[in-house]
Amino acid sequence: MKTVLMLLGVAAMAPSFAFGCACSAVPADAAVAVVSADKQAPARHPLKGVVVDVMADRSALLVKHEEIPGVMKAMTMLLTVDEAGLKAAKKGEAVTGMLVRKADGWWLEDVNAATVATDAARADS
Ligand SMILES: [Cu+2]
């Protein structure tokens, strides 16, 4: 009986998690990426989005990105970038790159200023 009540409790709580930041829903995939990193490079996912802010002091970009099928929904999130990425990105402009899950979080590599407006750019502007 106690088990049944616990299961019900979990089921009742589940919907509240479903609406949280999709970033927190990703670790299942991320764990796989970390495990596979022993034998091969982590998966890289093409990303399209808009630079909401360039945070040079954190070596990061705040990016509003489109859905990345099988990885994460469209959202705004902080992505770590290298020096070249910081220089390539411009606040308010479209950007493309490769999303990579690393031990210290999500990175955006091969950052390029996009020439074509993205779906994310058109949304809520
Ligand atoms: Cu995201």
Q: What is the pLDDT of residues 1-58, one digit of tens each?
A: 454 444 444 444 444 444 444 554 444 555 555 544 456 788 999 999 999 999 999 9
Query: Residue 8 C-alpha to ligand 1 middle, in angstroms?
Result: 30
Query: Residue 23 C-alpha to ligand 1 middle, in angstroms?
Result: 6
Q: What is the pLDDT of residues 52-93, one digit of tens each?
A: 999 999 999 999 999 999 999 999 999 999 999 999 999 999
Query: Residue 15 C-alpha to ligand 1 middle, in angstroms?
Result: 20
Query: Residue 44 C-alpha to ligand 1 middle, in angstroms?
Result: 13
In 3D, which of 62, 88, 59 has the Cα closest to residue 76?
Answer: 62
Query: Residue 22 C-alpha to ligand 1 middle, in angstroms?
Result: 7
Taking the whole predicted model, whether its pTM rises above 0.75 is answered as no
User: What sign does the CA torsion over 10, 13, 19, 23 have?
Assistant: negative
In 3D, which of 120, 106, 104 has the Cα closest to residue 43?
Answer: 106
Query: Residue 9 C-alpha to ligand 1 middle, in angstroms?
Result: 29
Query: Residue 77 C-alpha to ligand 1 middle, in angstroms?
Result: 5
DSSP 18-35: HTS-GGGG-HHHHHHHHH
Query: Residue 13 C-alpha to ligand 1 middle, in angstroms?
Result: 23
What number of other Cβ atoms are within 10 A of residue 91's Cβ?
12
What 3-state DSSP class applies to 9?
helix
What 3-state DSSP class applies to 117?
coil
Contact between 89 and 113 under an 8 Å Cβ cutoff? The reply is yes
Domains of the chain and CATH, by start: 43-125 (2.40.50.320)
